[in-house]
Amino acid sequence: MTNISATTAIEHAAGATRVAKRKSPTARGRLPVLILFLPPALLLFTIFVIMPMGEAAWYSLYRWDGYGLPEQFVGLRNFEVLFKNSAFLTALKNNFLIIVVSLLLQIPLAIWLATMLANRITGVVVFRLIFFLPYVLADVAAGLIWRFVYDGDYGLFAAIAGFLGVETPYVLADKDLAIYAVLAVVVWKYFGFHMMLFIAGLQSLDKSVLEAAEIDGATGWQKFRFVTLPLLGSTLRLSVFFAVVGSLQLFDMIMPLTGGGPFNSTQTMVTFLYNFGVTRMQVGLGSAVGVVLFVICVTLAFSYKRIFMRHD
């Protein structure tokens, strides 16, 4: 479990060649096993992952309501419409904002907590459990719980405002505030997962290096900054990767919180896809969103691998 080798999909090309080269003894019945074992996965994957993705690219060039065959070819019109749509631009901006908050707030918080909880202090197990708990809850449930927390009439925010004697804020109804309220829930839900990654990373560190630094008179912060942090590099990259990928597909949590509103101020790419593509059955437009999201994901995966993961 602590074998932290930060790798992504693409890297395993190299691994596979190694398998092929490894001399494996021949056994009887190579063909039957291939015929029996491969097709189920291959079929499922092709029919429900690869083909829909290809079809999304195809449909995105049409105006289509999903019935019959797509016939009204519109070229790149859907993409043009998309990038002129202010709700979609807000969605892009929000996805970017979520990534930024994950990187600048959530991961530092996770590292800070991990440094405290990687040692065997009293109560360590309880704290770890509590912090990890939101991660196992469904996004929908977390979203609804926080909808209550933020509720200006019944929720905790109302009570806190009453206690402080200020006017009750309706955070989720305020188009300037709502997105920050959503961001807080994202951090609340996911910091524990990243913390566990860092705890695993910290525990696999070579303790002697830290001791050496200590003997050389390094202070706590110096030890952290110049020894621990660089050694956590691969965990950090892994954590960033999950934060980015997760941020891009955020949907489940937004729906119970705001549904993308008010005034589309909390749309993400996927809620936009749902609100404008699925519910209105605009297959072309929705597929265009899918294609944009796909291109962003793939570009990120490849460039990320190129830039940050060369050393792993």
Q: Which of 76, 100, 156, 173 binds another protein (CB under 8 A)?
A: 156
Q: Which of 92, 140, 231, 309 binds another protein (CB under 8 A)?
A: 140
Binding segment for another protein (CB under 8 A), chosen from 51-59, 91-99, 168-176, 224-232, is 51-59
Q: Which of 103, 105, 141, 231 binds another protein (CB under 8 A)?
A: 141
Examine residue 153 and tell whether it contacts another protein (CB under 8 A): yes
Examine residue 133 and tell whether it contacts another protein (CB under 8 A): yes
Pull the structure tokens for residue 245: 């990928």
Binding segment for another protein (CB under 8 A), chosen from 75-83, 89-97, 171-179, 292-300, is 292-300
Extended strands (E) in the chain = 62-63, 72-73
- Structure-token match 């989720």, residue found: 172
Examine residue 311 and tell whether it contacts another protein (CB under 8 A): no
306 vs 303: CA distance, rounded Å: 5
Binding segment for another protein (CB under 8 A), chosen from 49-57, 72-80, 92-100, 166-174, is 49-57
Binding segment for another protein (CB under 8 A), chosen from 16-24, 83-91, 169-177, 224-232, is 16-24
283 vs 66: CA distance, rounded Å: 6
Binders of another protein among 95-124, rule CB under 8 A? Answer: 113, 116-117, 119-121, 123
Binding segment for another protein (CB under 8 A), chosen from 71-79, 87-95, 134-142, 171-179, is 134-142
For residue 93, give every residue at least 6 positions away whose Cβ sits within 8 Å of its Cβ, in sequence order, or none. none
User: Residues 236-275: x/- map of binding to another protein (CB under 8 A)?
Assistant: --x---x--x--xx-xx--xx-------------x--xx-
User: Residues 76-95: x/- map of binding to another protein (CB under 8 A)?
Assistant: --------------------
Q: Tell me how crowded residue 23 is: count the other CB atoms within 10 A of its CB.
A: 5
Q: How many whole angstroms from its chain centre is CA 251?
A: 11
For residue 287, give every residue at least 6 positions away whose Cβ sits within 8 Å of its Cβ, in sequence order, or none. 55, 56, 57, 58, 59, 60, 78, 277
36 vs 34: CA distance, rounded Å: 5
Backbone phi, psi, residue 217, to 5°:
85, 25
Examine residue 307 and tell whether it contacts another protein (CB under 8 A): no
Of 311, 119, 297, 305, the residue nearest 234 (C-alpha): 311
Examine residue 216 and tell whether it contacts another protein (CB under 8 A): no
DSSP-based three-state secondary structure for 251:
coil
Examine residue 27 and tell whether it contacts another protein (CB under 8 A): yes
Nearer to another protein, 176 or 283 (CB): 283
